[in-house]
Amino acid sequence: MDETVSAGDIARLADVGRAAVSNWRRRFEDFPSPVGGTASSPLYLLRDVESWLRRNGKPFQVSPAERLWTRLRTVDDLKLGEALAEVDADAATFEFLHARYLEAHSRLLSPTPPEVVEVVLATTDGDTVVDPACGTGSLLRASRGRHKSGQELDPVSARIARRRLPDAEIVTGDSLRRNGLPGHADAVVCDPPWHDRAWGHEELVGDARWTYGLPPRGEPELAWLQHCLSLAKPGGLVAVLLPSATASRRPGKRIRGNLLRAGAVRGVMTVQPGRDLWLLRNPVGRVPERIALLDAPGPVEPNTRVLDLLDDDVDLSPARRSGTDVSAYLAAQPTFALPPLPALRGQDVPEHTTIGELVRGAPGAHAVTSPTGAVYEIDPERLDPGFLEGVLRAAFSRTPTGSTRLDVRRTRVPLLPLAEQRRYGAAFAQLRALEEGLGDAAELVRLGYSGLLGGQVGPV
């Protein structure tokens, strides 16, 4: 079968961004047509792409590893992993092919992102490292441990992990139902499958690993947490990547509370939107009074009292405990006041014209943005930008939601000298600041309520 490449492959061959390849596809009628793939990820014949790049004077280079990957891509998607596991290649080439394989099947395989791998191993590592859901071995491979063991349910992923980690012990099988890993590890790292409702709740009801409580059927993540703790030695460190909802779902509050009371939780760190890193320790010695709740990767420094978390919800979500210092934010805010606006007598009310009349003439030298985002160029020697912005805001505020679109050129404008326009512009700026301040005040009210109820501030 002919060798094929994706848009990402073409970008690498030509050393350009993917946006450039998309641009070529739109601009050049002679760009090769797709021969396979999907609408969102089309495939092209490599020979057609090479010919087109030469014809259009665009330099490119196909390395031996890249050419080997294009040959692998001719294999049926369902058998691509098996083909990769059987490739005869040195370690560096195999890593290149593995990276392409993960890229091609990122939705199916859900690999742990490299930046998340770094965070995991920065917080938890040791001489003996275990991963009970190791996938293709990325967490184990990045670990500095000398003795590495992993277990993986998918036989193909396990074979790939063995190729990447020839000195590690990789076991194939269901780690929750039939653990094949040794215990007493210095460190346990894991990115387990999420939302697996068939994790073995019925078979494992009386399992000795459930020290902190039987995981509810709908909480497989809490089963993985306790399984990982069971593999660590006393005092051993554990890091498990879990969906953010695990920290707050009501069915899991009893187990979360027991983990806290036993001193098993070091912290919970949000590493990506919707993904938290749970940092645990197989308890030994004194129970800590504080744990770390971090809404972004960073040093694991305890910042939250355990006692404050042991309420009716036992919510360990970093987003609800970290963030704005409410009391400091409240104290720093200014008092908001309306600017002085003296009343005008009837004879002082200015005549009016329209924006269309004012902007008629030479091209402008200053840009003014309307509330809808439209940009108007004006001559600042004839029209003050702040004045026009205030007029536009007033016009749009008078237009009811859902009404006919406002004709800006017909908007009425007071006909004023430039100096007077600037005075109006300054008053409009004060009103704009008041408007923004009131928005901040609404946010302050919200923070005040949540701060009082969340224990961040207290009544006087």
Check which CATH number belongs to the domain holding 260 and give it: 3.40.50.150
| pLDDT > 80? residue 108 | no
- Over pLDDT 90: what percentage of the chain? 34
Average of per-residue pLDDT across 308-326: 77
- Determine which helix (DSSP H) or strand (DSSP E) holds 412, and give its type and residue range: strand 412-414
Domain presence at residue 337: no
Question: Residue 305: its pLDDT value, please?
Answer: 92
Residues 234 and 145 in one domain: yes
More confident of the two residues 16 and 441: 16
Average of per-residue pLDDT across 392-412: 63
Residues 197 and 304 in one domain: yes
Alpha-helix residue ranges (DSSP H) falling in 302-384: 306-309, 318-321, 326-332, 355-359
Average of per-residue pLDDT across 446-453: 74
| pLDDT digit string, tens, across residues 319-375 | 876 544 444 444 555 555 556 666 655 555 566 666 665 555 445 445 555 555 556
Average of per-residue pLDDT across 56-64: 79
Range name among 141-145, 246-250, 303-307, 402-406 with the lowest pLDDT average? 402-406
Q: How many CA atoms lie within 13 A of 243 on its CB side?
A: 12
User: What confidence tier does 189 reach under pLDDT thresholds 50, 70, 90?
Assistant: very high
Question: Residue 361: its pLDDT value, please?
Answer: 46
CA-to-CA dists, residue 455 to 20, 246, 291, 319, angstroms: 52, 22, 16, 14
Report the alpha-carbon distance of residue 227 to residue 165 in Å, rounded.
23
More confident of the two residues 20 and 104: 20
For residue 96 the two structure tokens come to 């290149």
Question: Residue 408: its pLDDT value, please?
Answer: 62
Question: Residue 356: its pLDDT value, please?
Answer: 60
Residues 281 and 429 in one domain: no
Residues 101 and 136 in one domain: no
Report the alpha-carbon distance of residue 173 to residue 51 in Å, rounded.
47
Residues 87 and 117 in one domain: no
Question: Residue 330: its pLDDT value, please?
Answer: 47
Residues 69 and 120 in one domain: no
Residue-number span of the structural domain to which 22 is assigned:
4-107
More confident of the two residues 256 and 432: 256
| pLDDT digit string, tens, across residues 213-264 | 999 999 999 999 999 999 999 999 999 999 999 999 999 999 999 999 999 9
More confident of the two residues 313 and 431: 313
Domain presence at residue 315: yes
Residues 277 and 288 in one domain: yes
CA geometry: angle 311, 312, 316, nearest 5 deg = 65
Given 53, 77, 107, which residue is the final one in a domain?
107
Total domain count, the chain: 3
Domain presence at residue 263: yes
Domain presence at residue 447: no
- 235 and 282 Cβ atoms separated by less than 8 Å: yes
Q: How many CB atoms lie within 10 A of CB 452?
A: 13
3-state secondary structure 321-334: HCCCCHHHHHHHCC
| pLDDT > 90? residue 107 | no
Domain presence at residue 273: yes
Residues 413 and 358 in one domain: yes
Given 62, 89, 107, which residue is the final one in a domain?
107
Domain presence at residue 451: no
Residues 268 and 372 in one domain: no
Strands 290-294 and 147-152: unpaired
Residues 97 and 76 in one domain: yes
Question: Residue 98: its pLDDT value, please?
Answer: 87
| pLDDT > 90? residue 60 | no
DSSP state of 183: S
Tokens 């193909």 found at: 156
> What rounded mean pLDDT belongs to the chain?
82
φ, ψ at 267 (rounded to 5°): 175, 170
Question: Residue 89: its pLDDT value, please?
Answer: 84
Domain presence at residue 459: no
Question: Residue 101: its pLDDT value, please?
Answer: 85
More confident of the two residues 326 and 201: 201
- Over pLDDT 70: what percentage of the chain? 80
SS3 73: coil
Residues 305 and 371 in one domain: no
Residues 426 and 307 in one domain: no
CA nearest 407: which of 357, 353, 355?
355
Domain presence at residue 396: yes
pTM for the model stands at: 0.63
User: What confidence tier does 394 reach under pLDDT thresholds 50, 70, 90?
Assistant: confident
